[in-house]
Copies of this chain bind each other. A is one copy, B any other.
Amino acid sequence: MRPPIPLLLGSALLVAQGANADALRDRANAIFKPIPEKVTEVRGQQVSEDQARLGHQLWFDPRLSRSHVISCNTCHNLSIGGSDNVTTSIGHGWQKGPRNSPTVLNAVFNAAQFWDGRAKDLQEQAKGPVQASVEMNNSPERVVQTLKSIPQYAEAFAQAFPNDKDPVSFDNMAYALEAFEVGLITPNAPFDRYLAGDDAALDEQQKKGLALFMDTGCTACHNGVNLGGQNYFPFGVVKRPGADILPESDKGRFAVTNTASDEYVFRAAPLRNVALTPPYFHSGEVWELEQAVAIMGDSQLGRELNATEVSSITAFLHSLTGDQPQVAYPILPPSTATTPKPE
């Protein structure tokens, strides 16, 4: 009887592939971390269900804006990847914001918030757009007046912050929003299943893309649980992109630190769900993920990636799309006669 040679050969090949596969995964596991199933803590403190529930209502409440038309969800839309998929957000009076809206999904894993990291956490971040004249155009006083005018909100704040003498505050509004936002995570992406040992979760092109992503040095900035969001780097480490993509007027983190070396420095974009959140970069002028990958190779690594490499890395980036948070569209408590009118 002839031994089944093709089968033996096949087995040998599988063993070799298995070893390579494990090596790739081991390398990846040393650089990246999976999204956990659940986050219920803020800075080491457990958030309460009452806080998260209140934050859920506030998140969708357009009355946080002066016009009563714009909510947090307008620019961080949970149905389309936690961002708004326009170049830069449209705010009060149809003004266009200066930078592309970052996704709220997994934002809890970022070291700081905004493209320039000017808010140290989500509570601080939440206060920004509410007051920004080009966004929600409201004031803390008017927001508090609005919330206090609505009895069910007053009750919900008292329940969410039982130890506060004056629970309806701008700080607590922001904390409640943060308590909701920490739940907006996207576990179970193909890449996370791969990290956990499921070899079939990525296809061959995606594995090539993962290897390239590590080999070419993308991981110098894009690592950890969020593949970015942890540190600051100049856009154009090697070669500065054109003014269409990197407008001269926006000097990034320089505006926060006033330090010359921070000119055109931005927080490395977190890449989770990046396939869902075009257009790309802080200027939001690049719509194709492939083009964004090529620009990064050129400007950050000084390497002209070929079409196959770009496709492989892009395929890998698609594996970062996780389970999107399922939330109810909340019923909001009605305004009263003393609620400030929209302007």
Binding site for B on A (CB under 8 A): 60-62, 67-69, 74, 77-81, 84-87, 90, 93-94, 275-276, 278, 287-288, 324, 326-332, 334-335, 337, 341-342
Q: Report B-chain residues with C-beta under 8 Å of the C-beta of A84.
A: 62, 68-69
Q: Are B68 and A334 in contact (CB under 8 A)?
A: no
Q: Are B324 and A331 in contact (CB under 8 A)?
A: yes
Q: Are B331 and A329 in contact (CB under 8 A)?
A: no
Taking a contact as CB atoms closer than 8 A, the residue among B79, B81, B287, B332 that contacts A330 in the complex is B79
**Copies of this protein, total:** 2
- Output the nearest chain B residue to A60 by Cβ-Cβ distance: B79
- Output the nearest chain B residue to A332 by Cβ-Cβ distance: B79
Q: Report B-chain residues with C-beta under 8 Å of the C-beta of A90.
A: 67, 69
9 residue pairs of the A-B complex, CB under 8 angstroms, read A68-B84, A78-B329, A78-B331, A79-B329, A79-B332, A86-B342, A94-B94, A327-B328, A327-B329
Q: Are A86 and B69 in contact (CB under 8 A)?
A: yes
CB distance from A103 to the nearest CB of B (A): 13
Roughly how many angstroms separate A80 CA and B152 CA in the complex, as a whole number?
14
CB distance from A288 to the nearest CB of B (A): 6
Beyond A62-B80, A69-B84, A326-B331, 9 additional contacts (C-beta under 8 Å) are A69-B74, A69-B86, A79-B330, A79-B331, A80-B332, A85-B342, A93-B94, A275-B334, A328-B328
Q: Are A80 and B334 in contact (CB under 8 A)?
A: yes
CB distance from A33 to the nearest CB of B (A): 24
Roughly how many angstroms separate A138 CA and B77 CA in the complex, as a whole number?
20
Q: Report B-chain residues with C-beta under 8 Å of the C-beta of A327.
A: 328-329
Q: Report B-chain residues with C-beta under 8 Å of the C-beta of A80.
A: 62, 332, 334
- Output the nearest chain B residue to A68 by Cβ-Cβ distance: B86
Q: Are A81 and B329 in contact (CB under 8 A)?
A: no
Q: Report B-chain residues with C-beta under 8 Å of the C-beta of A334.
A: 80-81, 275-276
Q: Are B278 and A85 in contact (CB under 8 A)?
A: no
